[in-house]
Structures are given as C-alpha cells and as structure tokens.
Structure 1
Amino acid sequence: MTKVDALPPGGSAAAAPAVWEALVTSALLGTDRRTPPGSGHGPGAPEALLDAAAAETVRRRAGLRPARAARRPDPAPGDPRPALPAAAAHRLTMLLADRPGPAAGGRRGGAPDLMELLPQWLATANARGFAAPPEALPALLDAARGRTDLRPAVLAFAGPRAVWLARLNPDWRFALRAMPGVGPVPPGSDAEERVRRLWDEGLFAERVSLLAALRIRDPGGARELLASTWAAERAEDRLMFLDSLRTGLDAADEPFLEEALADRSRNVRATAAELLSALPGSALAGRMAARAVTCVSLDRVLVPPAIAVEAPHECDAGMERDGVVSRPPAGRGERSWWFGQLVEAAPLRTWSARLGGRGPEEIVALPVSDGWGGELHAAWCRAAVRQGDGAWATALLGAPTAPEAGGPGAVSLAERAKLLGTLDAEERAAWVAGFIATHGLSEAFQLLGMCGVPWAVPLGRAVVDALDIARDAGSYPWSFSGVMGLAERCLDPAEAGRLDALLATPDESENASPGAGSYWAEAFQRLVTTLRLRAAMAGELEGGREE
C-alpha cells in the first residue's frame, strides 16, 4: 500500500479543509482527470486517494473538541403503589406484545384480540391501585402513543414515571400534557406559583390540560385563572378554554359566561350560551324560556287538546346575543331553525306550567298541529341531554317496543342513544334489552355503546338470544361482527358457561348461506374463549398484592 501523508509536505492543520476539498474533487472527477494531493499520476492513484481519504478522516475526527458533558437526568421518582402480582404482570406483557394479523377472507378467526382487552385490564388494575412494572413502561407508552383512547388509563397506571420518561423521549411527550385528573403540576408548597408559571408560559396543550385538571379539583380557581388572561387569548384558544367549564358547571360560573356572551368570536358566544342554557336557573335560560313560551301553546278547542306552534318571524339582536344563530344550514327554513334553538335552550320545567300542569310523558304524548311535532320533539331531546333531565329523556325515549325510527315523537336512534346517556346504568340496560328483544340487533350497535360494562345480565342475555336467532336464520355472522366484538368486551364473563351450547356447528337449512353454520360456531368459540380469558385476567388482578 502506498503511504500518503494526511497533509502535504510543509502543510499545517489550517490547510486541512483545502486538502479534504481536493480529495473530494479527485473522487468526483476521477484520478485520471484530477491527481489526488500527495500522489503521482498513474495506476496507483485510486489506491492513494482512498488511503489519503482514510487518513484525513481519522485526522478530522481526532481534531474535534469533546462537547461539554450533559447534565445527568434526575433519578426516576418512586411509586408507592403495590406491585402487580406475578401472573398479572406476565399477562400485561402478553397483552402489549399481541399484534393480530388480518384473518383470511375478512374473518375474525377464533383467537381473542388481546389488544382489545387491554383497556379493560388497565381499568381493573387502576381500580385495584397497582403500580406498573418499570420494564413495561416503554411498551405501555408506545401503545398509548398509537391509541389516544388508551392514554388516560395508561398514564394513570404508569404514574409519575411516565412523565419522567416523557421528558427523555419526544415520542412520549403527550404524557406531559395529558395526566388525567392530576395535571402537569404536582402538589407542593410552591404549587400555586408553578401553576401560574405554567399558565403564563406553557404550551397551549399544556395550558388546556392544566385548566381541565384544575377544574376537577377547584372549579372556582380554574375559572379565576382563565379570567385573568381571558382578554389577551386568541379566539380559538378562548373557545377551547371555555369548553373546559363543562366540568363542574354551576351557578358560580354564570357571571363569567354572561360576559362571554359579548365576545367578539361567534363560536365563543355560542358556547357560552350553550353552557348557560345548561343551568336552568340562569338569566339566559329565563330569557330563552320567555321567548319559547310565546311560540308554543295548548289549543284546547281541539279534542283531544293539541300543541300549537307559532315559530318566531325574526331573529333580533337580543336573540343573537343569547346564542341563537341567525343563518340556518342548507335545507332548513329560518323560522324552524330559530324555533328549535329557542326550545332547546329553554328549561324543560317551563313546559309543565305552559301546557296545563302536565308531566313530561303527558306532554310528549300530546299531538302537535301543522307538522311541527318532529321539530319540537327533536328540540326537547337536545334540551333533555343538555340539562341531564332523566324524566324528560324517559318520556322522549318511549317504550323500547316502539318502531326503530322513533318513539312518541319520532325520535331517531341517534337521539335515543344520547337520551340514554341521561339515565342511570340499570335503566339504560333495561331499555336497550327491551329494544333488542323487540327489534333484534340490526339497529342496536349504537345503543349498546351507551351501556355500562359489564352488561347487566338481562341485557347480555338479550344480546346472546338475538345472536342465536340470527344464526338460526342462516345468515353469515359478519353482519354482526360489531355486536360480537362488543359482546366479547362487555358480556359478563360468568355467562361463558351458558354459551357452551352454541359452540356446535348447527345443521344448515336449505335457505342458509353456504358454510354459515361453521362460521357461527367459530364466532361463538371466540366469544367464549374471550370471556374465559377475561375471567382469568380478573382473577390474576384479584389474586392479592405482593409485599
């Protein structure tokens, strides 16, 4: 090998950049066109170029000054919560490692989807107060990074170490602004000062998270913090901050919200009006009630009496200030649009006095003249959801045996799902069970999503009976894959034994789809296996705490 100096004879370190540039030029043009520095022209030039480049690379690297050593990170905070039982820790590893591939032909296969069971496992572990195993934290944070629905449970389970890790890995920075119910500022003697500093200097997402966390612990303090900078905030930021007042909303928020009605942003004004209308005792609710009652009356001339509607003929400045949007969406008439907004914002207690002292069920049962029934009942639905009025929601839902498309007031399934949210868990489950027993599962998915987990026994049995009926009808189970997936996560695991009779492949009738029976057997096998796995997971988490 030909020896080549890193620097030409008599050269200095100052000339090194020129040497490197010359080597690069020779490499680009070719040694036959440009002789490398320190080498002669000829067949040995390419090898000399490579030797010179290697020597120069070593010299360049050796000439770098070492950077100042970075400050060592503070130790990870401790977690005083008890450790997971060994079996539960092993189960967590399996849940986090599961990556199911697509089943052939679109079928779901017979094996449980472990990642779909992770939310339930986390909820149980958090309820038991266990700490996450340190070695599982990276996988937990990676899972939460990809699925925002997992973040609250993952961050609660991971505890303070999640924040510590998030400061070291930008991929997990969501943990810095999404600690559920705790906020980015832990308690301490200087907590008030740190809250103020984060509010004044933090990123927007951090400020939203801080305000939401403070609203849970101290609603009045959160409102005062927001008021302190309200005038200087951007319109889009004011809208997001104002939305946080939904948590813990009470009469003490009314003065601030009344001022927000004069905001220069239309969206902020509309949100403030919506929040005020959710307070039946607010001045805005009273103003909207006064407007709404002029539009609705009881026509006693008719037999039986009927509700008469006279929609407003204009949207004046006062209505606009109180949140009524003057311009209707495409396809809606102005008067019906204004009327719906007035009724929606009026306290529901208004209507008993206006309509002869009747209760919600009697009012909803009254006929409505001139085709205004749909508009009126839809507005009452929105009011019941906004005000959380279970009595009105029950009346508007009607009997679960009513047609799928509507209750007493032709209430849609989407509206029914929202109304169900105002009922307690037992009432909700009973209503949906009755709906499924009458109408089957084709329209039930949205309603089932409103029910608590695990499903009450009557609801779970109504779902299984409906699935059995669908199987006997000879159709493929894929039409019910959404309901089957819900059943895997929501059925009481104690029901697994009752399903064993459904695991056999049934005899196919002449009208059945080819192979449907075996597909149903596979689907029920997956359901039973998943239920038993959920029971095992619960047992592992209930198996005691390691000391």
Structure 2
Amino acid sequence: MTTAPTWDDLLTTALLGTDRRTLPVDPADLAGREAPAALLDAAAVAAVRRRAGLRPGPAGPRPEPAPAETRPALPPAAAHRLTLLLADRPGGGGGRRGSTPDLTELLPQWLASANTHGYAAPPHMVPALLDAARARTDLRPAALEFAGARALWLARLNPDWRFAQRSASGGTSALPDAEDDEGIRRLWREGLFAERVALLTALRARTPSAARELLAETWAQERAEDRLMFLDSLRAGLTADDEPFLEQSLGDRSRNVRATAAELLSTLPGSALAARMARRAATCVALDHTGSAAAIVVEAPAACDPGMERDGVTARPPAGRGERSWWLGQLVEAAPLDTWPDRLGGRTPEQIVALPVTDDWQGELHAAWCRAAVRQRDARWARALLGAPSAPEAGGPGAVSLADRAKLLAALEADERAAWVAGFIAGHGLSEAFQLLGVCALPWTAPLGRAVVDALDIAREAGSYPWSFSGVMGLAERCLDPAETARLDSLLAVPDEREDASPGAGGYWAEAFQRLATTLRLRAAMVRELTPGGGA
C-alpha cells in the first residue's frame, strides 16, 4: 500500500509543475490520467482528509464584557434620526441635485450636538458608526466620542475598525491617572507613537511642566520626525516657562525642528529670540523724513549670518524669490508687532499700514506683517491690515490675497469676524467670499446670514450663472441659522427667466432655495430631537 502524499509534497509539485517533478502517487493510481489532472484529484482528496481529520482546538478565552455605559440614553426620535443619517449614502454630486437635503453633510453637526448633550450611542448602532468613521476620517473624533468605550471594545474584535484604537488613543480614558507616575513613564517609554503623542497632549493640558520634563528626558534619543511632532504639541498653553527648552531646541540637528522651535519662540513676545528678531528687523525698517510726508524706508539684510539661521531664518530662498527680500520677510514676520509703534513714531497699526513705503517694498513688508499678525494672533494688526470690508482693493491695504484675509480674520473674535465678512459680501458679492465664509463660526450670525441670502437673491435676479454659487449654497445649508428659514419663502418659486439669463437658471435657483429651506427645517428638527424633552 502506497503512503498518501503529504500536502507539502502536493504543493511543491504544483509550484514546480508536473513536468519538472514526478507526481508523488503510485503510478497505478494514475489510471491513464494526465499528471496535472491526477495532481488536482490528489489535492482534493488531501483537502477533504485534512478537514475531516482536524481536531478541535481548546476553547479560547471569552471576551471581557463591554464596559457599562453611564451616559444618558439617546431620545427615541434622535435615535431614529441617526439611523436615517447613517443609512444615507453620498450622491453623485454636481451643481444640480434636486431639492432633497444631503444627509451625509448633516451627520457631523448631529454628532457634535449629541456630544454636547453627553448622550450615549445606542449599542446596536455602534457598528454603523464605526463603519461611517472608517469611511470618513473627518467624522472620527466626534463619532468615537459618541460611541464611547464600546467602540474601542468592538475595535479589538474587528481588524476593520483598528483605526478606532489609534484615533481614540487621544482620549484620556486610555491614559494613566495623573498620580500614576510609573504608568505614565512606562507608557512614554513603551507606548506606540500615537499613544505617546496622546499622553504628551493630555499632560500638557493638565500639568504643562510635567509634559515638558517628560519630553526632555528622552529628547536626545527621539527620531527627528518624532521630535517635530512632540515639539508641536507644546503650542497649546505655550508660556515663558517653555522658553529654555525651546531655546535649546534651536541647536537641534534637524532643520524642521529648529524652525518650529523658532516659530514658537517668536509667538512669545518676551522671549530672547523675539527680542533678537526685533533688533534685526528694526535695523531694516525706519521712517524716512526726507520727503514732504513721512514714509517707511526699507533696507533689507545684506547677508544671512549664522545667528539668523540659528534663530530660524532659512538662508536659501525658494525659486523666484530674491535673497534679501526673503530674509527681510522672515525677520519682520518673527519680530513682535509691538516693535513697530515705537520704531515708527508712536503711530497706531492703522496709521503704520497707511504710510507709503519707498522703493516698492510695500507688498513684501505688509505681507510679512500679515504673517506676524496671524502667528501672534494680534487683533489690532489684523484689523489694520484687513482694512474696511468695502475697500475696493482685492487684497486690502496689507493682505496680498483673499487667502491672507481669511487667515487674518481668524485673529478676530467670532462676531467681529462675521460682521467683517458680511460687510465684504454687501460690497463685493459672493464671487470671492467662499474662503472668507469658511473661517466664520457656525451657525452664522444673523447679519452674516442675511448678507448671504440677500447676495444669493441678487445673483438670481441678475440672471447669474447659477452653478457657480453651488459651493456657497452648500455652506449655507450647513452654516445658516435655521431661524432664517422664513426669509426663504419668497425665493422658492421659479422666477420668470430673463433673456440674458443662463438657460434653466430659474429652475435651478428654485430647487437650490427649496433644498436650503428643507435642510434648515431638518436641522431645526434635529436640534429639537436632541434637546431633552424636545423630541417627544
């Protein structure tokens, strides 16, 4: 009796080919069959034999029970709404999509509101939440917060959801207690990179000095890319106490680490680096009294010395930039903005920005001041550089682009920011307002909401090409206060089309306004359903 071939014998023969390796079976068993067919038959028999003869292994340990949920249950109406939001799928997109709201765009707001109320996710909906968060990274923080500890429990059982363990590592629930010094140090030494970042961030929030000391202990052994990420975590709660560590990091072997340390130090007006930059910048910018009126004269640096490089100035400019203007911009950007009133005759930021600048240096100087105002979050200089929202200049007195204006707006309080954008829309319309609207807090304030709706109505009445406003319409659906719904009633009918209007524009505008109104009513319903007692 011939011994049956082993599975490894059959596999090796299949890989090499029956023409190169003799089939490991009794020739009498071939019964006139070709070797390849006989190999497949033998493999089938071996597979059945292996499965039939498999002995059950020992039972594995049962999973630990899911953590008990202590948060209040979601109201029934809100739970039903979440089912609908999770079941919706993104549509095909495009400028014209009918009057049906896009539910996928409402899910982030729903989750944010549910988390504000502190509700717990229904257990049977946690898998759908994890699937949604897996598909959309923008949903992950809010979805994982809402799903809670059960999401992490499930993620350990399904590799498709392992992202939850990485993403949720920023949650303090997975971190050692503040009093557990040994646990903190063990996690810092042995944890994954995401866990170490989460630990550093959490420590930074509750005990800044402890986070800095922990980072200093292993700083020399960390990789350059890790040092950069760890250093960036010091932005939150940055104080003068961090200056010695950052000053030491100016000598780091990584250029990116040095640049980040210099940037952080420049946001501390009282730091030694800020003072050094102020002295350097002041030697380059002064008042010129030789003319009939005061003006600013600029003398850009003639060289980039080692001290400047250590303080974060990049010596080599990008393509198309002159060296001296490149160095000047970096010095002015890093200098405290309080340097300039004293340097320029006690003038206010508005008066300084209004001064003429000789020899075509105005664009470079104002652009650097814009970057400094953003970096230092200086509202006085941001207002001065923004100028009046109705100003005809495309970039304002200091900003060189709408992108710069959007960054400057971030330095203002939310209400002032919204008022400025509303004034800009009233004076310039919506064609250039998309970037500016994106930095406004939601829901939009009443003046900003009215300005947007009025501008859309004006565009419709003018017969403007309607699809060019689809982006603003999408923003309005997410950001317009639902209280503005009543103002849309007069815009829902299909208007008579002008002869010079785009074909079909009237129907599009009516559909778009109908979708906007329907979405706002839906958002209002979502708020009621999530309010305790409001969805009953």
Question: TM-score normalized by structure 2?
Answer: 0.92
Q: How does 1:93-492 map to 2 (within 5 A)?
A: 93-102=83-92, 107-179=96-168, 182-183=171-172, 185-188=174-177, 191-492=180-481
Aligned 8 A contact 2:7 2:43 in 1: no
Structure 1 pair 51/148, CA: closer, same or farther in 2 (3 Å)? closer
For 2:329, the aligned partner's letter is G
The correspondence for 2:71, drawn from 63, 66, 81, is 81
* CA deviation map 1:420-450 (0-9, x unaligned): 0011011000000000000000100000000
Question: Secondary structure of 1:308's match?
Answer: strand
Tell me by how many angstroms 1:341 deviates. 0.6
Instruction: Report the CA distance shift for 1:454/1:533 in structure 2 as closer, same or farther (over 3 A).
Output: same
Change in 2 beyond 3 A, CA 1:226/1:516: same
Does the alignment pair 1:62 with 2:52?
A: yes
Q: Tell me, yes or no, if the aligned pair for 1:96 and 1:143 is still in contact at 8 Å.
A: yes
Aligned length: 530
Distance between the aligned counterparts of 1:327 and 1:426, measured in 2? Answer: 41
Does the 8 Å contact 1:35/1:41 carry over to 2?
no
Letter in 2 for 1:98: D
- In structure 2, the CA distance between the partners of 1:19 and 1:168, relative to structure 1 (3 Å rule), is closer
Amino acid across the alignment from 1:349: D
> Based on CA coordinates, which of the two structures has the bigger radius of gyration?
1
Deviations 1:359-403 (A, max 9, x none): 111111111111111111111111111111111111111000112
1:190, CA displacement in angstroms? 7.0
Q: Structure 2 CA distance, aligned partners of 1:256 and 1:39?
A: 79
State the 1:12 CA deviation: 6.3
Question: Separation in 2 of the partners of 1:49 and 1:180?
Answer: 51
With over 3 angstroms needed to count, the CA separation of the structure-2 counterparts of 1:404 and 1:455, relative to structure 1, is: farther
1:296, 1:308 within 8 Å by CA — same for their partners in 2?
yes
CA contact (8 A) 1:491 1:531 kept: yes
- Residue by residue over 1:113-132, the C-alpha shift from the partner in whole angstroms, topping out at 9 and shown as x without a partner, is 10100111011101111111
- Take 1:312 and 1:16, find their aligned partners in 2: how far apart are those partners? 80
Distance 1:189 1:67, change over 3 A: farther
* 8 A contact 1:119–1:150 mirrored in 2: yes
Name the counterpart of 1:3.
none
Aligned partner of residue 143 in structure 2, secondary structure? helix
Q: Deviations over 1:63-119 (max 9, x none)?
A: 33433433322111122110100010111111111013316x752221111010011
Deviations 1:20-63 (A, max 9, x none): 689989x979xxx99977758379x9999999766544332233
Distance change (3 Å), C-alpha of 1:21 and 1:291: closer
Cα offset, 1:523, TM superposition: 0.6
Tell me, what secondary structure is at the counterpart of 1:238?
helix
In the TM superposition, residue 183 of structure 1 has moved relative to its aligned partner by 4.1
CA distance in structure 1 between the aligned counterparts of 2:365 and 2:260, rounded to whole angstroms: 22
Of 54, 73, 82, which residue of structure 2 is paired with 1:92?
A: 82
TM-score normalized by structure 1? 0.90
| CA–CA distance in structure 1, aligned partners of residues 338 and 8 of structure 2 | 87
Task: Percent identity, please.
Answer: 73
Structure 2 CA distance for partners of 1:394 and 1:49, relative to 1, 3 Å = closer
Deviation at 1:208? 2.3
Does structure 2 retain, via aligned residues, the 8 Å contact 1:477–1:516? yes
Q: CA RMSD in A?
A: 2.8
Q: 1:18 to 1:102 in 2, by over 3 A?
A: closer
> Helix, strand or coil for the counterpart of 1:207?
helix
Alignment of 1:520-535 (within 5 A): 520-535=509-524
Letter in 1 for 2:67: P
- One-letter amino acid of the structure 1 residue matched with residue 439 of structure 2: M
SS in 2 for 1:298: strand
Closer, same or farther: CA 190–142 of 1 in aligned 2, 3 Å: farther
Q: Does structure 2 retain, via aligned residues, the 8 Å contact 1:298–1:308?
A: yes
Contact between 2:386 and 2:399, CA under 8 Å: does it hold in 1?
no
**Cα 1:63–1:277 shift into 2, 3 Å:** same
Is the 8 Å Cα contact of residues 257 and 272 (structure 1) preserved in structure 2? yes
Is the CA contact (8 Å cut-off) linking 1:177 and 1:209 kept in structure 2? no
Shift of 1:252: 1.0
